[in-house]
C-alpha cells in the first residue's frame, strides 16, 4: 500500500495527502501531492522522477543497432512504436530505405501492439473506478495478441523486433491466417465491450462532464493521440504526416464530440480508445493484404557501416500520442545525442490544472483517462 502523509495547514482545515509513489492507480511509480479540503481537491501536483533510468544517455554509449532493446523500455506497454521511432530516426539520419515488406511488418506489429496497449488502458480505467469485470475480458484479448507477437519475434512485452533498416524476422508460416482469425474474433468483441462498460449508465454518469479538456487547452498543453483527438482535434500522424507506408491504408480518425457530456471529458477519452481498436483492425487487415503482394525474403536491409553525421528526427503515432525521436550523429558508431518526446510526459501537466475542484475519488479516473505510464514520463 502507498504511504499516506497528512499535514494540516496552519491557516485552516486543508490537508496534504501523499498519493504514491507506490499506488496501483497511479499507473506506475508516480507520486501526487494532493491538497484537499474534505473530499474536494485544490490541487494534485505530480512529482515525477522515480523511474528515471538515463535511457537517453545510454543511447550515447551503445551502437545505433545495440540501443534498440533499450527503446522497448521507453514505453513497455506499447514497445513496438518506440522501436519504430528509433529505427526511423536512425534511417533518416543514415539515408537508409526500408524494403516494403519490412514496412508492412512494422505497421502490422505496431497496430497489434496498439490494440494490446488500449486493452490495458481501457480495462485498467474501468477497474480503477470500480468495474472489475471488463479488466479480465480486456486481458484475455491482450493475451491473444501476446501469443501472436511471440510467434513473430519471440517476446511478449519488450519485443526488440524492429531493426535499423527493417525488422528482425519475417512472419512465420501460417501466422497471417492466425492474425486474421484473431481480428475476426476481436471485432464483435468490441461491441460486447461497449455493451458491458462503455455505454453502461453508471459508467457514463461517472465519467461524462468530468475534467473536460478543450481543444485549445489540449494543443496548449501539447497533448497527442487519443487525448488530443478526444478534445475535438482531428489530427493523426498516420494520416496527416504519414510515415512508413501509412499513406497506402485507409482508416477513420475517431474524434470526441461530447456524446455523453462535454467535448473532451473523461468519457470521450475512453470512447476514442475503443474506436481506435476498430481502426487498428482495419489497418492491420489492409497491411496483411498488401504484404501478400510484396517479395518474400526482403524485409531487412542490414547496413554494413553505420556511422552517420548530422541530425534527424522521426515521429510516430504511439498509443499515448506522438512519440518523437531526435538523433545527432558525429560520424562514430554511437549517437552523439538522442532525445525522446512522449505523450505521457505532456499529459502529466494537465492533471495539475484539471484536478482543481474535483473530488479525491475523481483523481484516479482522471489519471486513468489520460493513460499515462511511468516509463514514458521519466525515461
Residue-wise pLDDT for 158-170, tens only, equals 999 999 999 999 9
- Residue 368 near residue 27 (C-beta atoms within 8 A): yes
Three-point CA angle 211, 136, 82, nearest 5° = 65
What pTM was computed for the model? Answer: 0.92
Q: In CATH, what is the architecture of 55-378?
A: Orthogonal Bundle (1.10)
Task: Note the pLDDT of residue 12.
Answer: 60
Give per-residue pLDDT as tens, 179-197.
999 999 999 999 999 999 9
Q: Domain ranges in the chain?
A: 6-47, 55-378
Q: Spell out, as residue ranges, where the chain has pLDDT lower than 70.
A: 1-12
Q: Residue 317 phi/psi, 5° resolution?
A: -90, 95
- Write the DSSP symbol of residue 377: H
Count of CB atoms within 10 A of residue 91's CB?
23
Task: Note the pLDDT of residue 92.
Answer: 96
- Residue 34 near residue 26 (C-beta atoms within 8 A): no
Using H for helix, E for strand and C for coil, what is the string for 169-209?
A: CCCCCCHHHHHHHHHHHHHHHHHHHHHHHHCCHHHHHHHCC
User: How far is 23 from 215, CA to CA, in rounded Å?
Assistant: 30
Amino acid at each position: 500500500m502507498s504511504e499516506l502523509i497528512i499535514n494540516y495547514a496552519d491557516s485552516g482545515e486543508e490537508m496534504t495527502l501523499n498519493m504514491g509513489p507506490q499506488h496501483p492507480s497511479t499507473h506506475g511509480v508516480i507520486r501526487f501531492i494532493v491538497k484537499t479540503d474534505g473530499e474536494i481537491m485544490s490541487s494534485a501536483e505530480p512529482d515525477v522522477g522515480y523511474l528515471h533510468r538515463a535511457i537517453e544517455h545510454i543511447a550515447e554509449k551503445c551502437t545505433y543497432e545495440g540501443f534498440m532493446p533499450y527503446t522497448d523500455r521507453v514505453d513497455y506497454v506499447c514497445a513496438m512504436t518506440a522501436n519504430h521511432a528509433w529505427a526511423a530516426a536512425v534511417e533518416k539520419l543514415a539515408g537508409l530505405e526500408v524494403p516494403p515488406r519490412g514496412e508492412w511488418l512494422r505497421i502490422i506489429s505496431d497496430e497489434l501492439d496498439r490494440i494490446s496497449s488500449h486493452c490495458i488502458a481501457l480495462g485498467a480505467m474501468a477497474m480503477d473506478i470500480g468495474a472489475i469485470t471488463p479488466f479480465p475480458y480486456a486481458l484475455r484479448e491482450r493475451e491473444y495478441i501476446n501469443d501472436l507477437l511471440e510467434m513473430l519475434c519471440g517476446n511478449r512485452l519488450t519485443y526488440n523486433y524492429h531493426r535499423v533498416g527493417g525488422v528482425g524476422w519475417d512472419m512465420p508460416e501460417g501466422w497471417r491466417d492466425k492474425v486474421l482469425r484473431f481480428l475476426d474474433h476481436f471485432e464483435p468483441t468490441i461491441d460486447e465491450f461497449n455493451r458491458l462498460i462503455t455505454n453502461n449508465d453508471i459508467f457514463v454518469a461517472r465519467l461524462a462532464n468530468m475534467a473536460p479538456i478543450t481543444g485549445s487547452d489540449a494543443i496548449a498543453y501539447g497533448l497527442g493521440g487519443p487525448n488530443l483527438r478526444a478534445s475535438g482535434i482531428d489530427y493523426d500522424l498516420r494520416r496527416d504526416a504519414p510515415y512508413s507506408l501509412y499513406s497506402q491504408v485507409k482508416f477513420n480518425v475517431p474524434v470526441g464530440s461530447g456524446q455523453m457530456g462535454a467535448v473532451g471529458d473523461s468519457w470521450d477519452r475512453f470512447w476514442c480508445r475503443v474506436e481506435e481498436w476498430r481502426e487498428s483492425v482495419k489497418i492491420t487487415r489492409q497491411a496483411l493484404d498488401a504484404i501478400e503482394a510484396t517479395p518474400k525474403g526482403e524485409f531487412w536491409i542490414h547496413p554494413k557501416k553505420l556511422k552517420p553525421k548530422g541530425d534527424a528526427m522521426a515521429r510516430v503515432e504511439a498509443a499515448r500520442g506522438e512519440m518523437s525521436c531526435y538523433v545527432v550523429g558525429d560520424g562514430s558508431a554511437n549517437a552523439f545525442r538522442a532525445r525522446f518526446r512522449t505523450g505521457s510526459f505532456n499529459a502529466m501537466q494537465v492533471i495539475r490544472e484539471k484536478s482543481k475542484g474535483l473530488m479525491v475519488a475523481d483523481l484516479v479516473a482522471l489519471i486513468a483517462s489520460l493513460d499515462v505510464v511511468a516509463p514514458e514520463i521519466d525515461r
